[in-house]
Chain A
Amino acid sequence: QVQLVESGGAVVQPGRSLRLSCAASGFTFRTYAMYWVRQAPGKGLEWVAVISYDGSENYYADSVKGRFTISRDNSRNTLYLQMNSLRPEDTAVYSCARDTVTSPYYDYAMDVWGQGTTVTVSS
C-alpha cells in the first residue's frame, strides 16, 4: 500500500544538526513533489519545505530558511531533511507528505502523510 515512513528523530542540543529520512513505498516516488510539515507539541501544523519531483526546485518557510535543506534520492525512494543550527523552537513532530498530483505539476495539497518522527531540541 501507499506508505511514508519517517525516521531520524532524536533529542539534540541547540546548535547541533540532524538529518531526517522519509522512506516511500507503494507509489512512483519520482513523479511526485514532496513536503515536510511539522507540529510542535500542542500546536498547529506548520509547513517547512517542498521539493519538486526531480529535486530541481525547493522552497522553505522563513523560519527554517538557511538552516534546513530538503533533498531526495529517487533511486532510493527517499526524502530527506537536513537540519542545522537547531533551536528549541524547532522541537516538533516532523512529517513528510506527498503532493496530490504527479509531475511536473504541484497542487500544494498533501494526500499521503507519514506518522512523523519526533525532534526535541534541548540542552
Chain B
Amino acid sequence: QSALTQPASVSGSPGQSITISCTGTSSDVGYYKYVSWYQQYPRTAPKLMIYEVSNRPSGVSNRFSGSKSGNTASLTISGLQAEDEADYYCSSYTSSNTVIFGGGTKLTVL
C-alpha cells in the first residue's frame, strides 16, 4: 500500500499559521477516525501531537490542531514558533488492519 501523500516541505514566519495536508483514500483516511500526527526532530523519537483526527494528548500545545475532510486530513499550527521546525508525519489505520504513514513534511520556520 502506498504512503499517504504529504507535501515535502512547508514554511512560515513566526506568528503565522501553517497547514500540512495528508491525503489518503476511502480505505484509510476517508473512512476511519484513526488519523494521527507526529512531530520528529532529527535523530530523536517521534512525538504524538494529534490522535483520532483532532484530539491532543496531554501536554501538547493548543497551537496544534487537526481536522479531516473526505480523504484528506490536516494539521494546523498557529502562532508558529522557531521550536516548531521539525518533520511532521501523518498516519492512518486502514481497511487491511494495517497502519500507514505519510511521507513526511519538513516544516521550516523562516
Residues in A lying within 8 Å of B, measured CB to CB:
35, 37, 44-47, 50, 59-62, 95, 100, 106-111, 113-116
Task: Write out the residue numbers on chain A whose beta carbons fall within 8 Å of the beta carbon of B98.
Answer: 47, 50, 59-62
Task: Write out the residue numbers on chain A whose beta carbons fall within 8 Å of the beta carbon of B51.
Answer: 100, 107, 109, 111
Query: How many residue pairs bridge A and B at CB < 8 Å?
Result: 66
Q: Is the interface of A mostly helix, strand, loop or mixed?
A: strand
> Given that A62-B1, A100-B57, A109-B36 are contacting pairs, would A47 and B48 also be in contact in the complex, using a CB cutoff of 8 Å?
no
Q: How many residues of B contact A (CB 8 A)?
A: 29
Whether A108 pairs with B34 at a CB distance below 8 angstroms is yes
> What 1/0 flags go to B84-104 for Cβ under 8 Å of A?
000101011100111111111
Residues in B lying within 8 Å of A, measured CB to CB:
1, 3, 32, 34, 36, 38, 40, 44-48, 51-52, 57, 87, 89, 91-93, 96-104
Task: Write out the residue numbers on chain A whose beta carbons fall within 8 Å of the beta carbon of B32.
Answer: 108
Whether A45 pairs with B104 at a CB distance below 8 angstroms is yes
Task: Write out the residue numbers on chain A whose beta carbons fall within 8 Å of the beta carbon of B46.
Answer: 45, 110, 113
